[in-house]
Amino acid sequence: MGTGYYQMGHAFFRLHLPEEIMTPPNLSKFQIQNSQRPEEGYIDYTLEVVEDFNKIQDYVEQHRIGPEITRKDLRVWNTASGECRIFYIEGNPVPYGISLQQQEKNYHVWISQEIQELLCCDTIFFSMFSLEKHMIHQDAMILHCAYMEHPKGAILFSAASGVGKSTQ
């Protein structure tokens, strides 16, 4: 298992990755050297590829506390240790990843062996880190948008996927 340190905005992450995971090329843009990383305060993620994904899903569902928030590609609820997220590719009823918060800044992510070759895609890989949850604590946010340069800066066009932000 390899360990890497990354910075996104003002948030620092430490990822423990199994050797067999092919990460997206864009991940390297966020990698920092050991000398640049803080001694503490980073968010720790351990990723694990599993064969028996149903067993993990059953385990986290048994520890649900309170209501569940659901959309086509995501299910979210709380457990005694923190938040749990189950990730789906829209149209596929089988999840590809489960993220379980184990402590305030410690997460375990299980990845279905069946989809591990898709982890080289940015959207699949980065979705499992709940970046929006961490960025808001750093006075930052993630926007799904297109942009156009303007002499005084940029104009952002934010809208749902598929409405034509990049083609209009």
**111-122, pLDDT tens digit by residue?**
988 888 888 888
pLDDT value of residue 98: 95
More confident residue, 60 or 11: 60
**39-75, pLDDT tens digit by residue?**
778 889 999 999 888 899 999 999 999 999 999 889 9
DSSP code of residue 83: E
Half-sphere exposure of 39 (CA within 13 A, CB side): 0
Which DSSP helix (H) or strand (E) runs through 29?
Answer: none
